[in-house]
Amino acid sequence: MFRVTRRYHFASSHRLHSPELSEEENQKIYGKCNNPYGHGHDYVLDVSACGPLDSAAGRVLDTRLMDDLVERLVLHPFDHRNLNTEVQWFMPVVPTSENLGREICRRLKHNWNSTFPDEWPRLEKVRIEETPRNIFEVRADEIE
């Protein structure tokens, strides 16, 4: 069994703010990330799939297919966007990196079989690096 991880980059802005909380609670929880004008990140996204080595092709998956899927479902809708106002899924959801990872994984998982219709490869996990110190991972089998 092999794991293949592809790395992608995109830039987005967001404001961490929950309408369910008071201004004081939002400020206490999110601090400078609650800036009314938002702030941005240059995200590093790793998408990992696993599967057996195809002996004829000598690889686990066609990376071009993965790249096309990530481009269509993640990079195109998220790159250079304000997550709060330009990505409908985040309008009622606080766009934390945890929620961003969950949504990216959900999108990929729900569309994976149309790109990779066989049992293998399987989407394994999504990893987002918001900053060198803030890294978030979610396993595909933990996403509905």
- 120 burial class (0-12, 13-18, 19+ CB within 10 angstroms)? middle
The catalytic residue positions are: 33, 80, 130
> Based on the number of CB atoms within 10 Å of its own CB, is 135 exposed (0-12), middle (13-18) or buried (19 or more)?
middle
